């Protein structure tokens, strides 16, 4: 996921110390429902073990902060610089991404000791922190929060591969009432401004703020639901090549796909006939919850089938400006309860929403100097932008200008559908 740049308004050091402790504790808390075996395994090359996430986020603070600011710096362990480097070529060698699940050593306890060691040393630096150091700490915390989201999505994929279908959370997932009807909100053509401006933290790929022209368009008031997507399946959506982009149709055929990632047919004929794997374990499919874990190809095919399309990121951001409807504290997308439609809902806190915009630099974009500038710019190819946030996105990452990005076939993230019309 995307990370880079510094805040244009720096938090006081005492507040940053509290934020540091809170974010770092949260990462450890997310590992607590898991066994050490759970934390070591890698279910696919795109996912990473929990243990690796915990070490890499610590590596970030050690490599970009301690190594630079600590007097007489000595690494906690010399091998960690290579083992837990993600993709910073300017730092040096990296352990192969697809082989992170083979790192049975160092142990989980050694990773916890690594985190404690680095936290203690960062605490000493914060006692007399410069503005440059404070900015890098804030960047490291934002980076760690992104990995907290990845930990949950990676764990979900891992547990789904287990025939026992174990739950990450023991809390129940209730079946909710009927969702609100979908309506449409129209927007006039015009020159709009998108991109971050003003106070607060932002990543460099959100800037610079610039103008774009949009034609008249409309956005759906809510996200597409499981029940609506099930109708697409029942209508033969996965078998109709006219609905799919050529590469998407080849992808469906090569992988023999007939349904979203975590759906499976129920053993009996009750309800919709579908079950869905969640972080609460295997559950009956709730037709009123937003459909999640779709690729760009699936989202685009559904939009065509429904007589609509996916929005551009400029349309999405322009329409979402000033809307604050985030839903917090859930491990699965919540339904929109039936109520009179008023504007746009589920922009934040349910599912990331695919757009038709390729992930590319904004006009005037410039990456930061040095290795830390590698985080965003070099990934601006062969990926699509997603907007909004998901049910497992940290709250500080729910903002209208945030640009998430994934390849068209990716679907292990909480990615859904917001329809648009011209």
What pLDDT digit, counting tens, does each position of 2-44 carry? Answer: 444 444 444 577 888 899 999 999 999 999 999 999 999 999 9
**SS3 label, residue 125:** helix
**pLDDT of 340 strictly over 60:** no
- Helices 296-305 and 226-234: crossing angle in degrees, nearest 10, is 80
pLDDT of 342: 66
Predicted pLDDT at 207: 94
pLDDT tens per residue across span 74-129:
999 999 999 999 999 989 999 999 999 999 999 999 999 999 999 999 999 998 88
Query: 13-160 sits in which CATH class?
Result: mainly alpha
* DSSP 8-state symbol, 7: -
Contacts of 248 (CB under 8 A, 6+ apart): 295, 296, 297, 298, 300, 301, 408
Determine what percent of the chain falls in helix, strand and coil, rounding each to the nearest 5: 40, 15, 50
Residues of the chain with CATH 3.90.1580.10: 184-421
Which residue would you say has higher pLDDT here, 342 or 173?
A: 173
DSSP 214-238: E-SEEEESSPPBHHHHHHHHHTTGG
Q: pLDDT tier at 268 (50, 70, 90 boundaries)?
A: low
Overall average pLDDT of the 304-325 stretch: 93
Q: How far apart are CA 238 and CA 258, in angstroms?
A: 6
253, pLDDT greater than 60:
yes
Report helix, strand or coil for 29: helix
pLDDT (tens digit, 9 = 90+) per residue, 177-208?
A: 788 899 999 999 999 999 998 788 999 999 99
pLDDT in tens, 46-68: 999 999 999 999 999 999 999 99
- Predicted confidence (pLDDT) per residue in 386-416, tens digit: 999 999 999 889 999 999 999 999 999 999 9
pLDDT, position 215? 98
63, with CB counted inside 10 A (0-12, 13-18, 19+), is buried
Calculate mean pLDDT across residues 252-266: 97
Mean pLDDT of 220-230: 97
In CATH terms, is domain 184-421 a member of 3.50.50.60?
no
Confidence of residue 244 (pLDDT cuts 50, 70, 90): very high
For CATH 1.20.120, list the domain ranges present in the chain. Answer: 13-160
Query: pLDDT tens digits for 114-138?
Result: 999 999 999 999 988 888 999 899 9
Residue 355 has pLDDT above 90, yes or no: yes
What is the pLDDT of the chain when averaged over all its residues?
92
The pLDDT, as a whole number, for residue 338 is 66
* Contact in structure between 282 and 165 (CB atoms under 8 Å): yes
The alpha-carbon radius of gyration of the chain (Å, integer) is: 22
Q: Which pLDDT score, from 0 to 100, does residue 142 have?
A: 95
In contact, 74 and 165? CB cutoff 8 Å: no
- Cβ contacts of 180 within 8 Å, gap of 6 or more: 221, 222, 336, 337, 338, 339, 341, 345
Confidence of residue 326 (pLDDT cuts 50, 70, 90): low
Mean pLDDT confidence for 299-304: 98
Give the pLDDT of residue 10: 44
Closest-CA residue to 60 (of 148, 151, 137) = 137
CA angle at 405 for the pair 180 and 394, rounded to the nearest 5°: 65
Task: Please report, for residues 58, 75, 194, the alpha-carbon distance to residue 78 in angstroms, rounded to integers and kept in the order given.
Answer: 14, 6, 43
3-class DSSP state of 36 = helix
């Amino acid at each position: 996921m995307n990370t880079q740049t510094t805040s244009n308004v720096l938090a006081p050091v005492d507040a940053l110390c509290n934020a540091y402790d809170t974010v770092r504790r949260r990462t450890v808390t997310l590992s607590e429902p898991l066994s050490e075996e759970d934390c070591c395994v890698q279910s696919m090359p795109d996912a990473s073990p929990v243990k690796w996430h915990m070490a890499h986020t610590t590596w970030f603070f050690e490599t970009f902060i301690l190594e630079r600011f600590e007097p007489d710096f000595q690494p906690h362990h010399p091998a960690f610089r290579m083992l837990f480097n993600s993709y910073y070529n300017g730092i040096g060698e990296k352990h192969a991404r697809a082989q992170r699940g083979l790192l049975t050593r160092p142990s989980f306890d050694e990773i916890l000791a690594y985190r404690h060691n680095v936290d203690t040393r960062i605490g000493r630096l914060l006692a007399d922190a410069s503005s440059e150091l404070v900015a890098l700490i804030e960047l490291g915390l934002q980076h760690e929060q992104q990995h907290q989201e990845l930990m949950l999505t990676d764990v979900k994929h891992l547990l789904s591969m287990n025939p026992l279908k174990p739950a990450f959370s023991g809390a129940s997932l209730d079946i909710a009432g009927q969702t609100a009807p979908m309506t449409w909100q129209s927007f006039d053509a015009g020159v709009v401004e998108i991109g971050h401006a003003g106070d607060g933290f932002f990543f460099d790929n959100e800037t610079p703020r610039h103008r774009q022209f949009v034609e008249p368009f409309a956005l759906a008031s809510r996200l597409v639901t499981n029940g609506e997507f099930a109708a697409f399946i029942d209508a033969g959506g996965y078998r109709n090549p006219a609905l799919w982009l050529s590469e998407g149709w080849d992808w469906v055929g090569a992988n023999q796909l007939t349904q979203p990632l975590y759906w499976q047919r129920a053993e009996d004929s009750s309800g919709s006939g579908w079950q869905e794997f969640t972080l609460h374990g295997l559950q009956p499919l709730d037709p009123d919850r937003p459909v999640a874990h779709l690729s760009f190809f699936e989202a685009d095919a559904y939009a065509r089938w429904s007589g609509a399309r996916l929005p551009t990121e400029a349309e999405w951001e322009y329409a979402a400006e000033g809307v604050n409807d985030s839903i917090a504290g859930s491990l699965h997308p919540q339904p929109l309860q039936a109520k009179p439609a008023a504007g746009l809902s589920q922009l934040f806190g349910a599912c990331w929403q695919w757009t038709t915009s390729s992930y590319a630099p904004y006009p005037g974009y410039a990456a930061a100097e040095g290795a830390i500038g590698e985080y965003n710019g070099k990934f601006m190819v062969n990926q699509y932008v997603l907007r909004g946030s998901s049910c497992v996105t940290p709250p500080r990452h729910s903002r209208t200008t945030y640009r998430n990005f994934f390849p068209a076939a990716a679907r292990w993230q909480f990615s859904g559908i917001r329809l648009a019309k011209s």
